[in-house]
Amino acid sequence: MEQVKPEEVGLSSTRLARIDDHLRERYIEPGKISGAYTLVARRGQLAHASALGHMEMEQKRPLQEDAIFRIYSMTKPITSVATMMLYERGLFQLRDPVHKFIPAFAKQGVFKMGNYPNFLTEPPSRPMRIKDLLCHMSGLTYGFMHRTPVDAGYRKAGLEGARSSGNLEETVEKIASLPLEFSPGERWNYSMATDVLGYLVQVVSGKPFEQFLRDEIFEPLGMGDTGFFVPPEKQPRLPACYERRMDRKLVLQDDPATSPYLAPPAFPSGGGGLVSTGHDYLRFAEMLRRGGELDGARIVSRKTLELMTENHLPGDVDLTTMAQGSFSETPYEGVGFGLGFSVNLGPGRTGAAGSAGEFAWGGAASTAFWVDPAEDLSVVFLTQLLPSATYDFRAQLRAIVYGSIID
């Protein structure tokens, strides 16, 4: 993408420069993060791109613009788009029960009492639908929640998100063997639902999930560095990932020299398994901003994206009303949820600068992106710090970016 002077697309160079000053002074120089890469595009042109800091704190190699980041849950929007590509082909309806395609879900009950593996369940009020998986209203959960006997069961069953044991089919069958937290459609709970969608893509398309993503999304969009692992020749481009512990100490969480991301995983996680570069992910975001097409490659239709970026929470409520758990990769106030994205319900409801209809998501290592169709804006932010709630990079970056609009 061509980089232009920010003023050519209605942005202030001086104000956009605050991004670098903010990240450098508050986070990189004090040693809170190793590095960060930020891209801001407007009207299809790159207005700001800055690679700050280092690939790792130990060797202090400068952060490369082609660094390949662990994007964790920023995998979810990609998997959701893949799902809707198959919807567009008439291969299923969003109201179809999941068990129509994955029979293991036919007998799944709702938790009543007990502990793993001895649960007492009751029948759900209705079957889980494909739409429930896309909306995180399926009744599934994540093992890291540490909130209920069900998520404890996930941990004991080896369901650890992107690092779950077993292959894709085995992992999804384990999920189906455990109780639901609630009847589908009743509440919102962040979960391994998008991993189930990855398997659904595999079943419905007849292609391995990772091959479908490569053939139908990554290659058409020119996302050559996006996948489920980093091949040997690209290993030097993998930054270190760090974790801030409860005692506020920063520790090396994933050494790029020995990372599990250096080999193809047995379980290609549609919920959190991908790695990508800033420029690759910006191409995905720009495809979304442009209504499903980029440089002649049509991925989905404009109407499908309109459907995906509507708020699907009942009654147009926000997540404060529907969410069961306290964890997510988005604030809850003034934010709804569509089919794979959080949806901004308007700055009057969020209490922050932004636009109604803006859609977004983030990842566990503090990565984030958002697309604002009203402002023709796409933003990608990549760093490697767990957990994502450590610092509020996302809100801070939004304030700076929206504060740079001058037209």
Hey, what domains does the chain have and what are their CATH numbers? 6-75+208-402 (3.40.710.10), 82-205 (1.20.58.710)
Alpha-carbon dihedral angle through residues 311, 315, 321, 327, given to the nearest 10 degrees: -20
pTM of this prediction?
Answer: 0.98
Q: 3-class SS at 385?
A: strand
325 falls in which pLDDT band (50, 70, 90)? Answer: confident
CA atoms within 13 A on the CB side of 310: 11
DSSP per position, 333-371: TTEEE-SSSEEE--HHHHSSS--TT-EEEE-TTS-EEEE
Q: Hey, which residues does 339 pair with through a beta bridge?
A: none
pLDDT score at 9: 98
CA atoms within 13 A on the CB side of 151: 17
pLDDT tops 90 at residue 376: yes
Q: 3-class SS at 3?
A: strand
Instruction: Give the contacts of 292 (CB within 8 A, at least 6 positions apart).
Output: 298, 299, 300, 301, 302, 304, 305
pLDDT tops 90 at residue 15: yes
Which residue from 291, 344, 292 is spatially nearest to 313, judged by alpha carbons? 344
Which residue from 355, 359, 362, 360 is spatially nearest to 382, judged by alpha carbons? 362
pLDDT score at 367: 98
Which residue from 312, 248, 387 is spatially nearest to 95, judged by alpha carbons? 312
- Rounded average pLDDT over 280-288: 98
Structure confidence by residue, pLDDT tens digits, 337-347: 999 999 999 99
pLDDT score at 34: 98
34: DSSP letter: S
3-state secondary structure 279-337: HHHHHHHHHHHCCCEECCEECCCHHHHHHHCCCCCHHHCCHHHHECCCCCCCCCCCEEE
pLDDT tops 90 at residue 327: no
